[in-house]
Amino acid sequence: MTRSSRWKNEILNRHLLRAVVSVAAGVILFSCLTSHVAPVAAQTPAEWERLSAEKSLGNPNAPIKMIVYDDYECPVCGELYEQTLRPLIDDYVASGKVYLVHRDFPLTIHSYSRQAARWVNAAARIGKFEAVERAIFDNQMAWSEYGTENPKGIIKPIVQSALTPAEFKRVERLMQGCESNSQSEIKGCAVDAGIQRDLAEGQILPVRATPTIVISVRGQQYPPMTGAISWPILRQFFDKLLSQK
């Protein structure tokens, strides 16, 4: 091998090494930047849709569909539920005008919101979503970190009070492996899959804060709304939507 071809080979090797290092650095950087996005849990779309239907209220063919991304520990979510969603459920959902879909979006800044979501998801799997969600929100000040009662994060008795003993036993069985208050996904906690899927859906939207409301009518989606909206103002918007042909 001549001196010049050896030199050329050396240059080529150097470039090749640089390229490999750059690609590796790129891959590491990309994985770091995307690591905050929760992976979509191993749950089939059909399973998630079934669970999603269990966490929804009203007629799926209602003209208006309203999706609410909630964190059970967020005080504004509690306010929205008590002041706005309850009259909505009793009136427009009950009369078939609105289909209300709940999605979980537990924020990591709240210590017990994921655990509350696990209980509600377990209850949803036995068809008891509405009762347990109501109990969780009605008693938010009892179990959340903003409440006055100690020790905090005691959610089990609240769920128990909303169910019959037989129902509670079934929910408890579903909660096996989910005892920790961990805010991240627990391996072996079956109900976490649905929460992870809701979180992934929210990140696509993107949900920037809770509660986030997405309203769609006849396939046309309105931009996400964040924060508490009072019932008279929301009803006025729904009436306007319903009066449109």
Partner 1 sequence: MASSSRWSMGRVLLLIGRLTLAVVFLAAAYGKLRPQNAVPWTLASLKITPASLGLSMTFFAMQVDSYQLLPARLVSPFAYALPWIELGLGIMLLTGFALRYISLASTLLLALFYAVVIRSYALHLAINCGCFGPNEKLGAWTLVRDGCLFALGVAVTIGAFIVYRRSRSTVVVT
Site residues, partner 1 (CB under 8 A)? 76, 208-210, 217, 220-230, 232-234, 236-237, 240-241, 244
Nearest C-alpha neighbor of 145 from the set 183, 179, 105, 102: 183
Separation in Å, CA 55 to CA 25, 127, 198: 43, 8, 11
**Collapsing DSSP states into helix, strand and coil, what is residue 205?**
coil
CB of 219 to partner 1, least distance (A): 8
Q: What angle is formed at CA 114 by the lines to CA 177 and CA 127, rounded to 5 degrees?
A: 75
Considering the complex, state which of residue 151 and residue 232 has its C-beta at the smaller distance from partner 1: 232
Assigned token pair, 242: 């319903």
CB of 50 to partner 1, least distance (A): 26
How many CA atoms are closer than 13 Å to the CA of 233, on its beta-carbon side? 5
Contacts of 30 (CB under 8 A, 6+ apart): none
Considering the complex, state which of residue 6 and residue 208 has its C-beta at the smaller distance from partner 1: 208
Considering the complex, state which of residue 200 and residue 225 has its C-beta at the smaller distance from partner 1: 225
CB of 145 to partner 1, least distance (A): 16
Considering the complex, state which of residue 176 and residue 236 has its C-beta at the smaller distance from partner 1: 236
Write the DSSP string, 170-204.
Answer: HHHHHTTT--S--SSPPTT-TTHHHHHHHHHHHHH
Considering the complex, state which of residue 41 and residue 205 has its C-beta at the smaller distance from partner 1: 205
Considering the complex, state which of residue 62 and residue 229 has its C-beta at the smaller distance from partner 1: 229
Q: How far apart are the first and last CA of the chain?
A: 83
Contacts of 142 (CB under 8 A, 6+ apart): 149, 154, 158
CB of 241 to partner 1, least distance (A): 7
CB of 243 to partner 1, least distance (A): 8
CB of 45 to partner 1, least distance (A): 22
